[in-house]
Amino acid sequence: MAEPIIRVEGLEKHFQIRTGGLGRKMLIHAVNGVSLEIAKGETLGIVGESGCGKSTLGRTILKVLEPDAGHIWCDGTDITGFSRRQMRPWRRRMQMIFQDPYASLNPRFTVGELIAEPMAIYRTHGEAEQRERVQELLQIVGLKPDHIRRYPHEFSGGQRQRIGIARALALEPEFIVCDEPISALDVSIQAQIVSLLERIQDEKKLSYLFIAHDLTMVRHISHRIGVMYMGELVEIGPADEVCEHPVHPYTKLLMSAVPIPDPVQARLQRPQLTEGEVPSPIDLPKGCPFAPRCPHATKQCRELVPPLKDVGDRQVACFL
Amino acid sequence: MLKPEEYFDPLPPEDRDTEFIAMESRSFGRNVWDTFSKNRLALIGLICLALVVLTALIGPLLSPYPYDGMDAMARNQGSSAAHLFGTDQMGRDIFTRVLYGTRVSLMVGFASTALNLVIGVLYGGIAGYVGGRTDMIMMRIVDVIYAVPAMIYMILLMLIFGSNVYSVMLGICVNGWVNMARIVRSQVMTLKEQEFAVAAFVIGADRKRILFRHLLLNCLGPVIVTVTLMIPQAIFNEAFLSFIGIGISAPMASLGTLAQDARMLMNVYPMQMVWPVLVICIVIFSLNFIGEGLETALNPRGRRA
Amino acid sequence: MSERLLEIRNLSVSFDTAQGTVRALRDVSFHVNRGEILGLVGESGSGKSVSMLSCLGLLPANGRIDNGSILFDGQELSPVGLTGRGALRQHEAMLRSIRGNRIGMIFQDPMTYLNPVLTIGTQLTEGLTAHGTCSRQEAWQRAVEMLRKVGISEPERRMKQYPYEFSGGQRQRMIIASALACEPQLLIADEPTTALDVTVQAQILELIRRLARENGTAVIMITHDLGVVASLCDRIAVLYGGKVCETGTADEIFYETKHPYTAGLLRSVSRRAASGGKTARGTLQSIPGTPPDLLHLGSGCPFAARCGEAMKICRDYYPAETAFGGEHSAACWLWCREKAAELTEAQDRERGERHG
């Protein structure tokens, strides 16, 4: 098998918080021992509710946040301990697209300056070439070359997101973390961005880590989907399999809660409702993190954390 | 005009341009100026300040008298054609002295603010960006500097370096930058959490680039507003120092020393006091109006609506 | 007593901004029947929230109602045609007596509508006592009762807590509790679940459905999520660029789609994704382009530039609303070609009058 572009093993990221000025320190396990692989040209979708650590996972893989434990391999090289300087050649191979198209573009830069910045940093292109490349990138994402002199605030949300994509593509990366790139957009624009990302992937053979809480769209772009709950991967497998026949009780709950855009179907399939919400990650319950909300929880679930086991062509962390 | 037989032809692609942006492209500066120029008070302030600065610069050309030229025959005169603002007790032309005084005061104001700006922005920017322990130590140093009253530094500096323009400027700068540093620091702290700062990191920008090109550039608004409030503060401080007699020494004049000189004869010749004070008022009011105008113009909420 | 609880007719709303006049709503008409759930669907900037704010007299200072009527239970809520300070003040007083009392509201972000320094109890009873309908003790009792109804455990104890002690979903439940405390005839829910997780969203939608049915409250559900309206709403109105492009029952909208925008919207959420078929990658169809800039609207259909079936007439003239039996109607030239001559002439005349 070919070397995966990204391989992660036992990744952990904690945040320390203090309650009050002199309160005792507490650890939040944002990412708690996640292992995964992303093959070249593949999209791995990561879904989960807010606070499940999916964004932290994306940022830790890109080493925007330093991992507290575990290892990250990029194309076979262990980059976990790399310093800022050592990371430099790797950075251009791994890029990121952000959630908020309003906050992720520096408002004082023109679109041209924004897209050219990565090229200026790596000095990959001469001035004239840079201009040409920016216009080419604008074309790829469906914007017009004369937009180059405009400022981000003059664009709509979807257009800004496309500027963000053009910028991420500037250095021809091999791997892009898409951190909820469609959550802040309108429905018709969401589909547009997803289609654009798919098209780019087909042309450039990129790999994506696509983070989202919107399951319908994730399913469209992903080859495989991983479901996260409280910092842990509870189920990971081929996209259709995970969506159609979820195994883990949490995945089932998540899938049934997605509103179906079809009145007849919606009347037939009432969502499965559970009591309660995602618990605070500060006082993690012992055992399986989902046990308190799980309809099938046994005594064993409350005592031990279930490991990720192979079930057919996917992996599930559940004793059932 | 569309002909009825064409009504149901397919819409040609050139009419399908949804990426077209009708709004004209405007830079940040243009936007700020548009809002600013609608504020009448701020605009008047800007014009007044420009006039004062201009007169102070070309001042010497406007007046036939040297600033320290005494004329024993013409002491304490009122306004006349020869002496626009009259003369003081030593027979010096007050108009000329006010011109020179304004020059000195403005220089003190602008130069010390420039120094404060550089120190404050760098210090605050670094503290805010690096954060953690470095920030803690840097800000505690700031607290210590701020804890001692400004007057004490100024008087101490005067004792060491003598009473001249430079020690006044230095005195104002000893803790003048503290405010700026605090403002920049808190701005940078919030900005560095924003996604565009993370985006800059991800594309491989180094620390220097992120701090200067991304973070500090976005602090521009509050920094400019602070600057417009710092200049009158500095001018006022200088005037105050001179007024209590430890500022700029004769025969050099600043607006403060002119007021001080006139004070002794205030009961007899009140007009000698009025002129320098009037200029101080104009300068400070103008700068405050400009500052206020800029504040609304730079406020992003004001701009979007 | 009429069947229609709220009827909006020919409503036009605009906002004055530094860049010019934004025409947020143009000649919009729709209605809600008693006890029914209406879905108001559209993208940001389509005017869906603005229409509801105008009903309640809550438009920001730079917004104004240019034209149209808003009839709520036979009462006129639109200030159009009112002159004189006395009449306007009376109108404002009338709106105040309706807001929160006969029309309840739920907003997107519950935290902005809860005062962080007051206890939940204080805030919930405030609305009840403000309209002078009951005493303090009664109000407290009613509030406890409402909290229990929306599924918050130990309501007596939680009445004394502050908003930050509750999770996002619980806060939204509380807002629902307070909106329903006065037993309004109409509940306006402006994207109540956008800020929430899907599992919590399912709980909240179920709650709204149940309470509306129990109390016979009519609901206007503002959302951009077609999944939400499919499972919840009886009727749907689709807005685009400040115009209503299609209205009808949920089934009509989903299965007998007439307007190309609605069709595009449905395609871009892909029914197959949720209903069980295989979803190959790359099958997702999207509407190209960007929503119109409300500052620079042309005279034609606002969707023309993004529409796959657009004709030359769409660019210059606005189509008439065509009824398809029952309450299903759509505004698109595809369905009213035969009226073209008549409509273009009328629109030309109108424009001529406006320009000189």
Concatenate the DSSP letters of all residues of A178-215 into one string. Answer: EESTTTTS-HHHHHHHHHHHHHHHHHHT-EEEEEES-H
Q: What is the pLDDT of residue B300?
A: 54
Residue of A16 and B143 predicted with greater confidence: B143
* Residue B16 phi, psi (nearest 5): -110, 20
- Please state the rounded mean pLDDT for residues A32-61: 90
Percentage of residues of chain B with pLDDT beyond 90: 20
Check CB contact under 8 Å for B196 and A104: yes
Q: Spell B283-294 as b/e; 16+ CB within 10 A means b.
A: bbbbbbbbbbbb
Q: Spell C334-345 as b/e; 16+ CB within 10 A means b.
A: bbbeeebeebbe
Q: What is the pLDDT of residue B303?
A: 41
What subunits touch chain C, counting only 3 or more CB pairs under 8 A?
A: A, B
Which residues of chain C neighbour A244 with C-beta distances below 8 Å? 276
**Nearest residue of B to residue C312 by CA position?**
B11
pLDDT band at B242 (very low <50, low <70, confident <90, very high): confident
Which residues of chain C neighbour B12 with C-beta distances below 8 Å? 312
- Please state the rounded mean pLDDT for residues A211-239: 88
Q: Note whether B11 contacts C: Cβ–Cβ < 8 A.
A: yes
**How would you write the pLDDT of chain C (356 residues) with one tens digit per residue?**
568 899 999 999 999 887 788 889 999 999 999 989 999 998 888 888 899 989 888 888 888 899 999 999 888 998 888 888 888 899 999 998 888 889 988 887 777 778 888 888 888 888 777 776 678 888 888 888 888 888 887 888 888 888 888 887 888 888 888 888 788 899 999 988 887 788 888 888 888 888 888 888 999 999 988 888 888 899 999 999 999 999 999 999 999 999 999 998 888 876 554 444 445 555 677 888 888 888 888 788 989 888 888 888 888 888 988 898 888 999 999 888 888 888 888 888 888 877 65
Which residues of chain C neighbour A216 with C-beta distances below 8 Å? 227, 269-270, 273-274
On the question of pLDDT at B188 being above 90, the answer is: yes
Average pLDDT score, chain B: 83
Least confident of A11-20, A66-75, B35-44: A11-20
Q: What is the pLDDT of residue C341?
A: 85
Please check whether residue A181 is in contact with residue A209, taking contact to mean a CB–CB distance below 8 angstroms. Answer: no
Check CB contact under 8 Å for A103 and B19: no
Contacts with A, C 153-172, CB within 8 Å: 167-170
The torsion angle over the Cα atoms of residues A226, A229, A230 and A236, rounded to 10 degrees, is -30
Check CB contact under 8 Å for C313 and B8: yes
Query: Which residues, in sequence order, are CB contacts of A174 under 8 Å at separation 6+?
Result: A5, A40, A75, A93, A94, A206, A207
pLDDT band at B57 (very low <50, low <70, confident <90, very high): confident
Query: Which residues, in sequence order, are CB contacts of C338 under 8 Å at separation 6+?
Result: none
Contacts with C, B 25-64, CB within 8 Å: 34-35
Q: For residue A310, what are its two tokens?
A: 């192979």
Please check whether residue C227 is in contact with residue C274, taking contact to mean a CB–CB distance below 8 angstroms. Answer: yes
Q: What is the pLDDT of residue A299?
A: 83
Closest by Cβ to C198, choosing from A190, A254, A264: A254
- Please state the rounded mean pLDDT for residues B280-304: 77
On the question of pLDDT at B140 being above 90, the answer is: yes
Q: Which of C23, C62, C287, C311 to mutate to probe the B interface, most B CBs <10 Å? A: C311
Residues of A with CB under 8 A from a CB of B: 59, 62, 64, 84, 88, 91-92, 94-96, 98-100, 103-108, 117-118, 121-122, 142-144, 147, 149-151, 153-155, 159, 164, 167-168, 170-171
- Please state the rounded mean pLDDT for residues A50-75: 90
Q: What is the pLDDT of residue A243?
A: 85
Q: What is the pLDDT of residue B299?
A: 66
On the question of pLDDT at A319 being above 90, the answer is: no
Q: Which of B2, B5, B11, B33 to mutate to probe the C interface, most C CBs <10 Å? A: B11
Check CB contact under 8 Å for C288 and A216: no
**Nearest residue of C to residue B8 by CA position?**
C311
Q: For residue B113, what are its two tokens?
A: 């603010």
- pLDDT tens digit sequence for B163-172: 788 888 888 8
* Number of neighbours of residue A305 by Cβ within 10 angstroms: 15
Cis previous bond, A285, omega within 30: no
Q: If we measure between CA atoms, which residue out of C296, C258, C294 comes closest to residue C12? A: C294
Contacts with A, C 295-334, CB within 8 Å: none
Q: For residue C197, what are its two tokens?
A: 């997780």
Question: Which run of H or E residues covers position B104?
Answer: helix B94-130
Check CB contact under 8 Å for A151 and B200: no
Q: What is the pLDDT of residue C273?
A: 46
Query: Exposure of A68 by Cβ count < 10 A (0-12 exposed, 13-18 middle, 19+ buried)?
Result: middle
On the question of pLDDT at A173 being above 90, the answer is: yes
Chain A nearest-CA distance from C83, in A, is: 39
pLDDT band at A16 (very low <50, low <70, confident <90, very high): confident
Q: What is the pLDDT of residue A273?
A: 67
Average pLDDT score, chain A: 86
Q: What is the pLDDT of residue A176?
A: 95
**Nearest residue of C to residue B14 by CA position?**
C305
Query: Which residues, in sequence order, are CB contacts of A50 under 8 Å at separation 6+?
Result: A213, A278, C197
Q: What is the pLDDT of residue A18?
A: 66
What subunits touch chain B, counting only 3 or more CB pairs under 8 A?
A: A, C
On the question of pLDDT at A276 being above 70, the answer is: no
Q: Spell B100-121 as b/e; 16+ CB within 10 A means b.
A: bbbbbbbbbbbbbbebbbebbb
Check CB contact under 8 Å for A106 and B217: yes
Query: What's the rounded Cα separation, in Å, for the pair B209 and C36?
Result: 58
Closest by Cβ to A118, choosing from B23, B25, B203: B203
Check CB contact under 8 Å for A187 and C281: no
Q: What is the pLDDT of residue C281?
A: 59
Chain C nearest-CA distance from B305, in A, is: 6
Check CB contact under 8 Å for A277 and C225: no
Tell me how far the alpha carbon of residue C106 is from its chain's centroid. Answer: 11
Q: What is the pLDDT of residue C283?
A: 64
Q: Which of B1, B5, B6, B16 to mutate to probe the C interface, most C CBs <10 Å? A: B16
Cα three-residue angle A20-A26-A32, rounded to 5 degrees? 145
- Please state the rounded mean pLDDT for residues B276-292: 89
- Please state the rounded mean pLDDT for residues B121-149: 91
Q: What is the pLDDT of residue B302?
A: 42
Count CB pairs under 8 A between chains A and C. Answer: 147
Please check whether residue A15 is in contact with residue A27, taking contact to mean a CB–CB distance below 8 angstroms. Answer: yes
Query: What's the rounded Cα separation, in Å, for the pair A163 and A186?
Result: 17
**DSSP state, residue B43:** H
pLDDT band at A96 (very low <50, low <70, confident <90, very high): very high
